[in-house]
Chains A and B, each alone.
Chain A
Amino acid sequence: MKEKIIEKILTLLAFSAIGVLLLITVFIFKEGLPVILKAGIKDFLFSAKWAPTKGHFGILAMIISSLAVTFGSIVMGVPLALACAVTLAEFCPPRLLVFLKPTIELLAGIPSVVFGFLGVILLVPIIREYLGGPGLSLLAASIILAIMILPTITSISIDAIQAVPLLYKEGALAMGATHWQAIWLVILPAARSGVVTAIILGMARAIGETMAVIMVAGNALKIPSSLLDPVRTLTSTIALEMGYSAGDHRTALFAAGMILFIFIMALTILANLLMRKK
């Protein structure tokens, strides 16, 4: 009898995560959807005119900015992360690996406000000095994000590379390939789906990151035309305006959150499908 009750309770608890997820979905959509319908989906998604207190709810500039910083961080972060993953998984002596892998993962533990702060103090002046523009820019945000997503991508890629059967590598080496040729021609292709999953999860992290981006991106509300332009992402807009918003303005921020949420869920589901295929 007691056992049955315990089982019922545990079953209930087990639905907590999915319950919270549903609750989040419901609340974000309930708050955000009405304003989108009011403004019209076209004017909401494809207009760059954002003046929520005057009834203009176009978030195009933010979407483009969000995608731009994410893309920038992937372009810079992925090669570096893969280099780390290959080095650690293939060239690194195991004794060093047990020390280096957690060290790279520790990078993920540094708070985003600290990354943002160092970006402002160190990176932004360099960009302003040597490349021009205000320094607070799409480029600065991309670089900081690239560093922030690096541990995620590296860590998952290492697991994917290590999951490739040793036989593949031995087969390649036995045919006279060098270690690097084996990695490039056999191991990496075999680990592809894991590596792609890692990159997708890195993208999700980059597009959702807020505090570091606010601090270094400059937050000017326009569609960027160069890497040195300041940008304002979906996340920064929400964080910057939430404090003083009210009425339609506040619900418009929820609507922006809703778009972000849809992006993230699409990426998560994609990553999930890829994992399953493996």
Chain B
Amino acid sequence: MMRLNPILSQKIIKTLLWILTGSTIGILFFIIIYIFIKGLPQLSWTFLSTNPVDMGRSGGILATIVSTVYLIGIALFFATPLGLGTAIYLTEYTREGLITKIIRFGTESLAGIPSIILGLFGFAIFVIAFGWGWSLLSGGLTLSAMLLPTIIRTSEESILSVPQEYREVAFSLGVGKWKTITRVVLPAALPGIVTGIVLSIARSVGETAVIIFTAGSSLRFPSSIFESGRTLAVHFYILAREGISMPMAYGTAAILVLLILIINISAYMTMRFLMKRYS
């Protein structure tokens, strides 16, 4: 049997691995560039600032932007205090034990629940049981269940990274526990917490399955949170799937990808910047 020289075979494997990695990154750039080439020419101020006309065949996407903002706002309004509160409890008020295990299991499991199941759940509870129908409120609440685990995890990590000594200093100055948390710990952990929130905004922007069953897909400009609304991602899905208008679909996709790129990159930059500053 012939055996390859180990140095040579390492060279071959290394090249192969780099080719695979390169093509993966290539796929990513291809996706982004393809969407931009097809979609960016469709963008204009009018596209962003007028409402869709004729099911989205013409006009712009203003109503969908507004619906997206509403939904994310509602979701964060509920998920942030719950997530941050959980993180504070886990880090400051309890020791590792059965209770923290249960809470962590719940968080991890919730993170793994697919969006279609969350959509079913939101539909059963908010749309039907509570009788709110398809509405931004139903959608936002369901979305908050999706964001909760991310916010808990990132907040917990950043609170844990605050040096224990800061707490001791505050205590030794006679500052109570809660004030120590709000005035010393949370300000020091803020960058990480904000990064977590920003990343969950990016996730919400691209989400469809959760929203389509809970917020519906009305194209009207939403005037209250009890109305149905269509987000950017849902709008794109409907445009593309029903073949309503390819140029409009590409334009919407470009906005989606652009938003997600900007949000992710800025979150990443802030984190890098702050990590440098602290170390």
Contacts and interface: CB of A to CB of B under 8 A. Distances in A.
Direct contact of A and B (CB under 8 A): yes
A238 interface: yes
Nearest to A176: B6
A264 interface: yes
A204 interface: yes
Given A17-B107, A181-B6, A242-B123, A84 B113 contact: no
Given A24-B118, A147-B27, A178 B6 contact: yes
Contacts of B102: 18
A28 B116 CA distance: 12
B166 interface: no
A178 B7 contact: yes
A18 B106 contact: yes
Contacts of B76: none
B149 A113 contact: no
B268 A102 contact: yes
A114 B31 contact: yes
Size category of the B interface is 35 or more
Contact of B105 (A18, A115, A117, A178): A18
B190 interface: no
B67 interface: no
A166 interface: no
A49 to B, nearest CB: 23
Nearest to A107: B28
Contacts of B152: 17
A14 to B, nearest CB: 4
B89 A21 contact: no
A272 to B, nearest CB: 6
A48 to B, nearest CB: 21
Nearest to B32: A110
B112 A201 contact: yes
A15 B257 CA distance: 35
B148 interface: yes
Nearest to B28: A107
Interface in B179-211: 202-203, 205-209
B34 interface: yes
A120 interface: yes
B209 A239 contact: yes
B88 interface: yes
A9 B84 CA distance: 12
B40 interface: no
A180 B13 contact: yes
Q: Which of B34, B90, B124, B203 has the most CB of A within 10 A?
A: B124
Contacts of B236: 111, 113-114, 117
Given A28-B120, A268-B112, A112 B28 contact: no
A16 B260 contact: no
B47 interface: no
Interface stretch (A51-59, A128-136, A208-216, A221-229): A208-216
Interface stretch (B14-22, B53-61, B157-165, B219-227): B14-22
Interface string B135-159: 0000000000100110010000000
B116 A86 contact: no
Contacts of A269: 109
Contacts of B149: 17
A163 interface: no
Contacts of B103: 14-15, 17-18
B108 A268 contact: yes
Interface in A1-16: 2-3, 6-7, 9-11, 13-16
Given A84-B24, A87-B18, 19 more contacts: A3-B178, A17-B110, A17-B149, A18-B107, A23-B121, A24-B110, A27-B125, A87-B21, A103-B25, A106-B261, A110-B28, A111-B206, A111-B233, A208-B113, A239-B212, A242-B120, A254-B120, A264-B117, A272-B108
Interface of A: 2-3, 6-7, 9-11, 13-21, 23-24, 27-28, 31, 79-80, 83-84, 86-88, 91, 98, 100, 102-104, 106-107, 109-118, 120, 122, 147, 150, 154, 177-181, 201, 204-205, 207-211, 214-215, 235, 238-239, 242, 253-254, 257, 260-261, 264-265, 267-269, 271-272
